[in-house]
Structure 1
Amino acid sequence: MSRYEAIVAVFGIIFGTASFVGVAIAIAWGVKGRKGVVTDGGAMARVDQRLERMEQAIDAMAVEMERVSEGQRFTTRLIAEQSGEKLKA
């Protein structure tokens, strides 16, 4: 085996080992991260209550926007009718 082949073999072993260790650390870190995300039931209940209140508020805003748009349509129709009467006269 020549000197260059030995250097390539040593670097291959070093990089292979470093890659294996890096992947093992990444997997261990990922498994640890999943276990740390567990929350208590009280926190989930509070989140559910908050989402319910947000849903009710959004529904109320949608109803109000529908009322505003109905008023806008009515006003537009009145203006159009009045303009039409002025043109006919």
Structure 2
Amino acid sequence: MKISDKLKDLQRWDERRPGFPGEHSLALGAGLLVMRRAGRSRSLVGRMLGRTLGTALLARAATGRDGPLGKRAPTPTDRVRDLLAQRAR
């Protein structure tokens, strides 16, 4: 199995599971801690990897499933897709 397939499986699992209160606060805190720790690293690779992981956690906190930016208003395209799906049934 390819890594991309495993990542897709992980994303599907994450979309199915219920969220829990404070999930985004934990992601925010973890991202800030990782970035702070990465800034203290002596190696360039350690700083880059730490900052990348920290940025990913911060983005997850902001745009995650139930986060403030994660819930978006339905677009006209979404509405058309829903109508077509209902008609197909």
* TM-score above 0.5: no
The structure with more radius of gyration:
1
- TM-score w.r.t. length of structure 1: 0.31
- TM-score w.r.t. length of structure 2: 0.31
Task: Return the structure number with greater helix share.
Answer: 1
